[in-house]
Amino acid sequence: MAKILAVTNQKGGVGKTTTALNLCAGLALLGERVLLADLDPQGNATTGCGVVKQDVRRTVYQLLIGNASFAEARLRVAFNDFAFDLLPANRELAGAEIELIELEAREYRLRQALDGVSGEYDFIIIDCPPALNLLTVNGLAAAQAVMIPMQCEYYALEGLSDLVNTLKKVRAHLNPVLEIEGLLRTMYDPRATLTQQVSGELEKHFGDKVYKTIVPRNIRLAEAPSYGKPALAYDRNSRGAQAYFALAQEVLERRQRKEGNTA
């Protein structure tokens, strides 16, 4: 069965989409069967895969409201030497917020959609929007664990406690197994003293939940989406691409260690 990870942080622009996309690329390159689910009406993960979002007829939106099957909404995206599946999104998804309210089991629509296909993948990575809304709740209800990208800046820790409280509520009401898989330091600039302080605080509070891999600020990561490619396809040797490859390895190791412990 797939390990389902929601990449989430209600704060905007912290690197969620960059992380979701490049983690998928890294895992695919390591031979894992991967699905990227774009749960953000901005559709940035979709664009980052080279898919023209305005042209996609069936997206995760139709899937959530029951107007398309998983097979109809899924696309295959292929790069030089790796490929993965994508559930695309575009602006239409913004309407789901309201339409879902009317529907039965509105928090579990994504989970139900993924239920039947979990066996086809090793990892399903969900890119959440920058809000704690019903779309994000669908992501959190479908996932086994969350990955939290964050910039090591002053307000980050405050935002983190809001997120941790939300996760507690989701666990209590919707998804008792939901865990924090890990916290990822993104856009890291080691020259800033504050960055180092916040990074230290994170390690103090969250211990080994903080990934060893740190993603540096790297222009290649920001350029790659405009070429419709993950960084590992755009400039594999860049520091940014290499960091996400290392993250994919770390995620895989964590999974193997965990399953080794429970086997």
Residues that bind Mg ion (CB under 5 A): 16-17, 44
Decide: is 222 part of the binding site for ligand ATP (CB under 6 A): yes
Q: Which of 47, 186, 195, 213 binds ligand ATP (CB under 6 A)?
A: 186
Decide: is 17 part of the binding site for ligand ATP (CB under 6 A): yes
- For 113-178, the three-class secondary structure string (H helix, E strand, C coil) is HHHCCHHHCCEEEEECCCCCCHHHHHHHHHCCEEEEEEECCCCHHHHHHHHHHHHHHHHHHCCCCC
Of 71-79, 152-160, 197-205, 220-228: span binding ligand ATP (CB under 6 A) = 220-228
Decide: is 238 part of the binding site for ligand ATP (CB under 6 A): no
Q: How far apart are the first and last CA of the chain?
A: 14
Of 53-61, 204-212, 213-221, 249-257: span binding ligand ATP (CB under 6 A) = 213-221
Decide: is 215 part of the binding site for ligand ATP (CB under 6 A): yes
How far apart (Å, rounded) are the C-alpha atoms in residues 206 and 213? 15
Q: Which of 110, 137, 143, 221 binds ligand ATP (CB under 6 A)?
A: 221
Least CB distance from residue 36 to Mg ion, whole Å? 12
**DSSP class of 33:** -
How far apart (Å, rounded) are the C-alpha atoms in residues 80 and 241? 15
Decide: is 187 part of the binding site for ligand ATP (CB under 6 A): yes
Nearest to 76 by CA among 90, 68, 67, 88: 88
Binding mask 145-184 for ligand ATP (x = CB under 6 A): ----------------------------------------
How far apart (Å, rounded) are the C-alpha atoms in residues 190 and 82? 32
How far apart (Å, rounded) are the C-alpha atoms in residues 148 and 6? 8
CB closer to ligand ATP, 1 vs 155 = 155
Least CB distance from residue 20 to ligand ATP, whole Å? 8
Of 9-17, 91-99, 136-144, 250-258: span binding ligand ATP (CB under 6 A) = 9-17
Residues of 21-38 as b/e, b for ≥16 C-beta within 10 angstroms?
Answer: bbbbbbbbbeebbbbbbb
Nearest to 241 by CA among 132, 82, 71: 82
The site for ligand ATP (CB under 6 A) is made up of: 12-18, 40, 42, 44, 130, 186-187, 215, 217-218, 221-222, 225, 240
